[in-house]
Amino acid sequence: MRALRFVRYWIAVGWLLVAGLVAGSLVTLDARPSFAPGGIARYRWDLDGDGQYDDSSAQNPSYTYSTAGTYPAKLRVTDNQGAQAVSNSVEIVVSPAGA
C-alpha cells in the first residue's frame, strides 16, 4: 500500500470568516484540492472533533455548529486502491450566539 501524496482542504465560510463563527453557523468545507494519483474514492470528515470520521462523506460538506467550542476538524480520504491519508486538523472556533 502506498501513501497518498498529499491531502489538503480549506474552509470556505464567506462573510463568517470576517465576522467570526457563532453557534448555529453553517460552515462549508471543500476537499476538491485533495489529490491521489488514481483518484479519490471516499471522503470522510470528522467535523465535531470526536475522532470519528462520521460527520460527512461529501466532498464539499456543509455542517452546522450548534454549540460554542473549538472543534479540530479533519478529513480522511481513501483512494481507489484503498490507501488512506488524513489531513492536518483545522481548528474551527465557534463563539456563543449573541456574544
Q: Does 61 bind Ca ion (CB under 5 A)?
A: no
Shortest separation between residue 49's beta carbon and Ca ion, angstroms: 7
Q: Cα separation of 53 and 61, whole Å?
A: 13
DSSP secondary structure letter of residue 24: T
Instruction: Map grid coordinates 480522511 to a residue.
Output: 76
| Contact map string, positions 21 to 60, toward Ca ion, x by CB under 5 A | -------------------------x-x-x-x--x-----
In contact, 43 and 8? CB cutoff 8 Å: no
Question: Of the two residues 3 and 26, which places its CB atom closer to Ca ion in the complex?
Answer: 26
Instruction: Map grid coordinates 485533495 to a residue.
Output: 34
Question: Of the two residues 23 and 35, which places its CB atom closer to Ca ion in the complex?
Answer: 23
CA dihedral sign, ordered 85, 76, 21, 10: positive
Question: Of the two residues 66 and 80, which places its CB atom closer to Ca ion in the complex?
Answer: 66
Q: Cα separation of 83 and 60, whole Å?
A: 21
Question: Of the two residues 80 and 89, which places its CB atom closer to Ca ion in the complex?
Answer: 89
Task: Give residues in contact with Ca ion (CB under 5 A).
Answer: 46, 48, 50, 52, 55
